[in-house]
């Protein structure tokens, strides 16, 4: 199996982008990545698109064809695949694209992720996010997306002593990082007090414990490792991927304070890459809620189970601390156009490993990790990247 | 929710019909065709059972932000309850002050309105939890 | 062989509101209204409760007392109410499904103001006496509404009671039943109207009292009894005054009527009213006790029952599950705003 490298990246501004339609967003990110990779239309062998729910947000299915059409590559008649997987969809798309290259079927594949969430009102958008939960046995009984994560947070507080202040510390850190990211939806720092006083969404989570509704898109160009240097001097290699699923409903999970899908996906990725958590200095994890980041740093074995809140509070996951988590601002501050997430996280890691992250650069980063969740944790995808030699 | 979809699950929503694996005694709710614990060994070896409706609260959250269907209930308590048979279920806790809900609290099921498809649509009924008698 | 009660169950929601709280909103001395009606509080259903949910709770409570009764032997279920959640689609089938009776059974919903439940008792008696079915279930339940500011707002409340009727095993035999029915328009609600209308003082003498007293006298005659022969008396209770006046007029003593007079704590539960009162009596009655029960439904009619408690009452578990006593006592008081929200009296945005 061949190695896979990232030779180009692109992303749009993330936020409430009233002037941009879904098609404009997706194309903008894709074209930036292609231009950055300095490849021509004829070089592209396939397109993979991660999108959570264009069908519900903008009534549009068959998104793959839409993207292939509007990307200006229509005369290439490219095979295009739309990948669905809740919030993990574009991380899965990266994996699918990488497998197509590793197996020798394709040489160069563009992977994009996009979501347009603000054409519908807030209440409806939240209901659409809820569609990744168990419709028959969770949402019909009143379980909201935030409510399910809140219940995991409550149990985490009960079992491990995690506090609301520790949850808040995640948001404060990510907003601080976001203030250094010109593409982030929120570029203002916040305080612990702001988070604690915010209107309650589902206790113990308040408005500032939750990632926003956003529009945005990101894209990467993947290339077989043996050809990457034809296009770039700084190829970043995808050295390992782990993809795992777990029970759909939170109540069926083995341990309410652990996402087994993350644990297993992480182990698979590290095993494939021949690396361990200690090798990772920069990571983009799925902080759709503050509790999610706390659980992620534990489940990825950056800190012991139950210590995620304490570690965050003590600054262990701050920029250039022991491990820099969510230097982009995370989903919380950078924004959370769901379908774009996995690819956007990869874009940030690639930037970090290339040394192009400016004010939020992690010094000496050689191995980076992305972690993306689907639904309430029924899917987890972990990618490990490293500087190519 | 489409009519047939809701109607199909009535035995489980009204009467907590679950499945029990005759191979390993694992109880699953809703009922499954394949046991979540022993997989293939369970095929053709599962029976329907009814949960007693009694259990204890494992975790909960007071929900303030809720979709339209639950507007009248806000803020309501959402909980995961571990039933005495071992399986866990998710629903609301009613008939007590939200602040009284605690992890470990004993509860029993109650038959309540879950929602309706607007003023003219079908009404959905099912289980919620209340403090055990 | 006689028909009678095999088991019984009741349900009253947890919420209450006082006449004083209601009166304050409408510029009326609510406390005085309450005293005038002899009502201290009325029950209010939660936003996720309705006639169907309460009927299911009452039916399940009945079956829980008598685990020897197989739901599949309940061959008929009738739910009487004037606030069925559907105008078309019977409450009875949902109750049947929720107690796992059927599908080999018959069902229908009844309406006759506050006597829809007692009418169901008479029907199920007929079905079991004729051996059409082993058991029938008669449910009376309501989430009745009083128009905002109207006198009925102080009393219209929510509750349910379910009786399994059969021949064997009986906890109480219904030795006689007789009814008195005329076309008397004292209280009504046209299709599509949110609130009922009534004839004011016309609801007294020509309506409630004429039918209750006439039916009672017919019952005494048929049974060959007089008030002293009974341990308990219970009447339809639209407020705490009418039934006491009717009872005294007939010659009953207040002590005989005390146990069944729940209206003072829970208000008028309409189709459930006399049945819930009867449940309170059955909760404490002893074998051999005799009960005189005469209901009333506007429109108008009265169903009367002469009941004798049997030894069988000790064979069921009257303490099981949520007792009526506990439901009457374990309450939460609401302010008018929350009450109005729960009762759908606030106009919400459509769509």
Can you spell out the DSSP letters for A191-257? -HHHHHHSPEEETTEEGGGBPPP-EEEEEEEEEEGGGGGGT-SS-EEEEEEEEEE--SSGGGSS-TT
Report the distance separating Cα C178 and Cα A299, nearest Å.
73
Hey, is the C-beta of B114 within 8 angstroms of any chain C C-beta?
A: yes
What is the number of domains present in chain A?
Answer: 2
- Find, in chain C, the residue whose alpha carbon is nearest to that of B131: C322
A148: enclosing H helix or E strand: helix A145-160
Q: What letter would DSSP give residue A136?
A: T
Q: Which of C21, C49, C114, C279 is catalytic?
A: C114
Q: What is the CATH number of the domain that holds C145?
A: 3.40.47.10
Asked if the C-beta of A147 comes within 8 angstroms of chain B's C-beta atoms, the answer is yes
Picking from B94, B119, B123, the nearest residue to C46 by CB comes out as B94
Contact list, C11 vs chain B (CB under 8 Å): none
Burial of A322 (0-12, 13-18, 19+ CB in 10 A): middle
A203 shares its domain with A218: no
Tally of domains within chain C: 2
Q: Is the domain of C140 the same as that of C241?
A: no
Whether residue C57 is found in the same domain as residue C139:
yes
The first and second tokens of residue A184, run together, are: 């982030």
| Residue C59 domain-assigned (yes or no) | yes
- Based on the residue annotation, tell me whether C236 is a catalytic residue of this protein: yes
CA dist C244 and C234 (Å) reads 9
Residues spanned by the domain of B115: 3-15+52-131
**Domain encompassing residue A279:** 127-209+239-387
Structure tokens belonging to residue B4: 């047939």
- Please give the structure tokens belonging to residue C28: 């009326």
Mutate to test the interface with B, among A120, A134, A142 (most CBs of B within 10 A): A142
- Partner A contacted by B115 (CB < 8 A): yes
In this structure, are B86 and B32 located in the same domain?
Answer: no
Contact C198, C187 (CB under 8 A): yes
**Site of tokens 């807030």:** A122
- Chains touching chain A, criterion 3+ CB pairs below 8 Å: B
Do C197 and C180 belong together in one domain? yes
Q: Measured between beta carbons, which residues in chain B are less than 8 angstroms from residue C46?
A: 94-95, 112
Could you tell me if B133 lies within 8 Å of chain C, comparing CB atoms? yes
Residues B42 and B26 in one domain: yes
Contact assignment for A141 to B126 by CB distance below 8 Å: yes
State how far the Cα of A92 lies from the Cα of C242, in Å rounded to an integer: 73
- The reply to whether A277 falls in a domain is yes
In a domain, C20, yes or no: yes
Sheet architecture: strand order including B17-21: B27-28, B17-21, B46-50
User: What burial class does residue A319 get, using C-beta atoms within 10 Å of its C-beta: 0-12 exposed, 13-18 middle, 19+ buried?
Assistant: buried
Q: Are residues A148 and A67 in the same domain?
A: no
pLDDT given for residue B69 in this prediction: 87
Give the closest-approach CA distance of C34 to chain B in angstroms: 26
Same domain, A23 and A151: no
B12 vs A239: CA distance, rounded Å: 46
In sequence order, the 6+-apart residues with CB closer than 8 A to the CB of A124 are none
Q: Does C317 touch chain B (CB under 8 A)?
A: no
**Do A283 and A348 have their domain in common?**
yes
pLDDT in tens, C66-111: 999 999 999 999 999 999 999 999 999 999 999 999 999 999 999 9
Same domain, C32 and C163: yes
CA distance A101 to A312: 38
Q: In this structure, what CATH number is given to the domain that contains residue A222?
A: 3.40.47.10
Shared domain for C21 and C86, answered yes or no, is: yes
* B33 and B90 together in one domain: no
Reading the block at residue A231, the tokens are 């296009």
Would you say residue C322 lies in a domain?
yes
Is B73 at the interface with chain C, CB within 8 A? yes
Q: Do B112 and C97 touch (CB under 8 A)?
A: no
B40 with B93, same domain: the answer is no
User: Do C330 and C255 share a domain, yes or no?
Assistant: no
Question: Could you tell me if residue C348 is inside a domain?
Answer: no
Task: Judge whether C262 lies within some domain.
Answer: yes
Regarding whether C279 and C202 lie in a shared domain, the answer is yes
C188: pLDDT strictly greater than 90:
yes
Give the B:C interface size as CB pairs under 8 Å: 51
- Centroid of chain to Cα A278: 21
Same-domain status, C332 and C304? no
| Whether residue B61 sits in one domain with residue B37 | no
Q: Say which DSSP state C349 is in.
A: P
CB contact under 8 A, C49 and B125: no
Q: Are residues A256 and A147 located together in one domain of the fold?
A: yes
C114 is a catalytic site residue: yes
Taking only the tens place, the pLDDT of each residue in B91-105 is 999 999 999 999 999
Preceding peptide of A145 cis, ω within 30°? no
Looking at A197, A228, A259, which one is the last position of a domain? A228
Domain presence at residue A234: no
Among A196, A228, A260, which residue terminates a domain? A228
Q: Is A34 part of any domain?
A: yes
User: Are both C300 and C225 inside the same structural domain?
Assistant: yes
Neighbours of C35 (CB within 10 A): 14
B111 interfaces chain C, CB cutoff of 8 Å:
yes
Residues B56 and B115 in one domain: yes
Looking at beta carbons, which residues of chain A come within 8 Å of B32? none
The answer for B 7-66 residues in CB contact with C (under 8 A) is 10, 14-15
Per the structure, the count of domains in chain B is 2
* pLDDT higher than threshold 70 for residue C351: no
- On whether both B60 and B93 belong to a single domain, the answer is yes
Report the share of chain C in percent with pLDDT over 90.
95
Which of the two residues, B71 and C75, has the higher pLDDT score? C75
**Residue A83 falls within a domain, yes or no?**
yes
Please tell me the distance from the alpha carbon of residue C93 to that of residue C110, in angstroms, as a whole number. Answer: 13
Give the best residue of C10, C12, C48 to mutate against chain B (max B CB count within 10 A): C48
Within this chain, do residues C201 and C237 fall inside the same structural domain, yes or no?
A: yes
Residue B49: DSSP 8-state: E
Residues A151 and A117 in one domain: no
Rounded distance between C-alpha atoms, residue A67 and residue A23, angstroms: 7
Contacts of C49 in chain B (CB under 8 A): 112-113
A12 and A148 part of one domain: no
**Residue C15, both tokens:** 């919420």
C100 touches chain B (CB under 8 A): yes
φ and ψ of A369, to 5 deg: -135, 140
**Do A205 and A222 sit in the same domain of this protein?**
no
Shortest distance, CA B18 to any CA of chain A (angstroms): 13
**In a domain? residue C64:** yes
B65 and B80 both lie in a single domain: yes
Same domain, B34 and B64: no
Using CA atoms, how far apart are residues A76 and B131, in angstroms rounded to an integer? 64
Instruction: Give C14's contacts in chain B (Cβ within 8 Å).
Output: 95
Residues of B with CB below 8 A from A135's CB? 1
Nearest neighbour of B111 by CB, restricted to C14, C56, C342 = C56
Quick count: other Cβ atoms within 10 Å of Cβ C26? Answer: 14
Task: Name the residue range of residue C325's domain.
Answer: 4-172+317-342
State whether B89 and A251 contact (CB < 8 Å).
Answer: yes
Does residue A233 form part of some domain? Answer: no
User: Is residue C349 situated within a structural domain?
Assistant: no
One domain for residues A151 and A73: no
- Considering only alpha carbons, which residue of chain C is nearest residue B93? C48
Put simply, the chain A residues between 121 and 140 with a CB less than 8 A from any chain B CB are 123, 126-127, 130, 135-138, 140
* Whether residues A66 and A177 fall in one domain: no
Residue C87 and residue C16 in one domain: yes
Between chains, do C98 and B111 touch, taking CB under 8 Å as contact?
yes
Residues B69 and B43 in one domain: no
pLDDT tens digits along C260-291? 999 999 999 999 999 999 999 999 999 999 99
SS3 of A202-221:
ECCEEHHHECCCCEEEEEEE
| A366 DSSP assignment | -
Which residues pair with residue B109 across a beta bridge?
B129
Q: The whole model's pTM is what?
A: 0.94
Averages of pLDDT over each 10 residues, chain A, 389 residues: 95 96 90 92 94 92 88 87 96 98 97 94 90 95 97 98 98 98 97 98 98 96 96 96 98 98 98 97 98 98 98 98 98 97 98 97 97 97 92
- Based on the domain organization, do C136 and C181 belong to the same domain? no
| The predicted structure's pLDDT at residue C1 | 84
Annotation says C279 is catalytic = no
* Helix C91-98 with C51-65: angle, nearest 10 deg: 40
Phi, psi of C62 (to 5 degrees): -60, -50
Query: By the 8 A CB rule, do B37 and B23 touch?
Result: no
Contact C318, C279 (CB under 8 A): no
Residue with tokens 């007590």: B96
The domain that contains B98 carries what CATH number? 2.40.50.840
User: Would the CB atoms of A203 and B67 count as touching at under 8 Å?
Assistant: no
Structure tokens at B114: 């879950």
The DSSP secondary structure of A92-127, one letter per residue, reads HHHHHHHHHHHTTS-SEEEEEEEEE-TTS-HHHHHH
pLDDT of residue C323: 95
Q: What is the pLDDT of residues C290-342, one digit of tens each?
A: 999 999 999 999 999 999 999 999 999 999 989 999 999 999 999 999 999 99
């Amino acid at each position: 199996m061949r190695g896979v490298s990232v030779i180009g990246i692109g992303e749009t501004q993330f936020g409430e982008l009233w002037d941009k339609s879904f098609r404009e967003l997706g194309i903008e990110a894709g074209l930036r990545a292609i231009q950055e990779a300095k490849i021509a239309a004829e070089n592209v062998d396939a397109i993979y698109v991660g999108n959570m729910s264009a069908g519900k947000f903008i009534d549009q299915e068959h998104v793959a064809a839409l993207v292939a059409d509007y990307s200006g590559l229509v005369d290439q008649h490219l095979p295009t695949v739309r990948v669905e997987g809740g919030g993990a969809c574009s991380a899965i798309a990266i994996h699918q694209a990488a497998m197509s290259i590793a197996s020798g079927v394709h040489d160069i594949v563009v992977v994009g992720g996009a979501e347009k969430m603000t054409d519908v009102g807030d209440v409806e958008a939240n209901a659409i996010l809820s569609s990744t939960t168990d419709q028959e046995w969770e949402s019909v009984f009143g379980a909201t997306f935030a409510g399910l994560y809140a219940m995991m947070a409550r149990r985490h507080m009960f079992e491990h002593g995690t506090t609301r202040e520790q949850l808040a510390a995640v948001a404060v850190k990510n907003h601080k990082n976001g203030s250094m990211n010109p593409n982030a939806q929120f570029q203002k720092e916040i305080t612990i007090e702001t988070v604690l006083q915010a209107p309650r969404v589902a206790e113990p989570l308040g408005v500032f414990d939750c990632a926003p509704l956003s529009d945005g898109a990101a894209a990467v160009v993947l290339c077989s490792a043996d050809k990457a240097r034809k296009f770039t001097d700084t190829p970043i290699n995808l050295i390992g991927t782990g993809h795992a699923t777990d029970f759909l409903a939170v109540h069926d999970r083995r341990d309410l304070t652990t996402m087994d899908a993350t644990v297993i996906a992480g182990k698979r990725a590290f095993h494939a890459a021949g690396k361990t958590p200690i090798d990772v200095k920069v990571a983009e994890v799925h902080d759709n809620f503050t509790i999610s980041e706390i659980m992620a740093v534990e489940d990825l074995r950056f800190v012991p189970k139950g210590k995620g809140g304490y570690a965050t509070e003590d600054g262990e996951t701050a920029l250039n601390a022991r491990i820099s988590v969510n230097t982009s601002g995370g989903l919380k501050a950078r924004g959370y156009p769901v379908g774009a997430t996995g690819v956007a996280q990869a874009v940030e890691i690639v930037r970090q490993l290339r040394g192009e992250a400016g004010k939020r650069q992690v010094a000496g980063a050689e191995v980076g990790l992305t972690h993306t969740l689907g639904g309430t944790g029924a899917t987890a995808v972990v990618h490990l990247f490293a500087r190519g030699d | 929710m489409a009519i047939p979809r809701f109607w199909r699950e009535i035995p489980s929503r009204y009467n907590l019909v679950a499945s029990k694996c005759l191979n390993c005694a694992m109880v699953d709710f809703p009922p499954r065709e394949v046991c979540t614990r022993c997989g293939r060994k369970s095929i053709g070896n599962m029976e329907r059972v009814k949960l007693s409706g009694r259990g204890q609260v494992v975790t909960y959250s007071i929900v303030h932000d809720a979709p339209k269907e639950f507007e009248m209930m806000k803020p309501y308590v959402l909980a995961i309850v571990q039933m005495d048979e071992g399986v866990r279920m998710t629903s609301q806790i009613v008939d007590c002050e939200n602040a009284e809900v605690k992890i470990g609290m004993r509860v029993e099921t109650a038959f309540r309105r879950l929602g309706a498809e607007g003023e003219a649509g079908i009404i959905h009924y099912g289980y919620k939890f209340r403090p055990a008698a | 062989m006689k028909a009678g009660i095999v088991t019984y169950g009741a349900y009253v929601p947890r919420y209450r509101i006082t006449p004083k709280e209601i009166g304050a909103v409408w510029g009326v001395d609510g406390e005085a209204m309450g005293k005038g009606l002899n009502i201290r509080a009325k029950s209010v259903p939660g936003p996720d409760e309705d006639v169907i949910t309460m009927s299911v709770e009452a039916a399940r409570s009945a079956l829980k007392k008598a685990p020897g009764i197989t739901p599949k032997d309940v061959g008929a279920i009738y739910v009487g109410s004037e606030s069925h959640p559907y105008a078309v689609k019977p409450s009875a089938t949902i109750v049947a499904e929720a107690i796992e009776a059927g599908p080999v059974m018959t069902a229908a919903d009844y309406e006759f103001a506050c006597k829809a439940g007692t009418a169901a008792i008479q029907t199920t008696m007929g079905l079991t006496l004729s051996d059409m079915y082993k058991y029938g279930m008669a449910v009376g339940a309501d989430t009745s509404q009083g128009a905002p500011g109207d006198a009925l707002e102080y009393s219209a409340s929510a509750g349910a009671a379910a009786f399994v009727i059969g021949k064997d095993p009986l906890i109480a035999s219904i030795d006689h039943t007789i009814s008195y029915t005329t076309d008397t328009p004292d209280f009504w609600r046209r299709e599509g109207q949110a609130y009922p209308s009534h004839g004011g003082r016309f609801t007294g003498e020509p309506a409630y009292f004429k039918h209750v007293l006439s039916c009672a006298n017919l019952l005494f005659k048929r049974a060959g009894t007089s008030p002293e022969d009974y341990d308990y008396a219970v009447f339809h209770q639209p407020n705490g005054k009418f039934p006491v006046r009717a009872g005294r007029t007939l010659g009953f003593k207040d002590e005989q009527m005390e146990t069944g007079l729940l209206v003072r704590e829970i208000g008028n539960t309409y189709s459930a009213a006399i049945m819930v009162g009867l449940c309170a009596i059955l909760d404490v009655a002893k074998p051999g006790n005799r009960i005189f029960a005469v209901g009333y439904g506007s429109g108008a009619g009265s169903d009367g029952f002469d009941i004798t408690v049997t030894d069988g009452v000790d064979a069921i578990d009257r303490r099981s599950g949520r007792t009526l006593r506990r439901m009457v006592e374990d309450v939460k008081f609401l302010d008018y705003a929350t009450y109005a929200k729960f009762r759908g009296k606030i106009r919400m945005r459509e769509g």
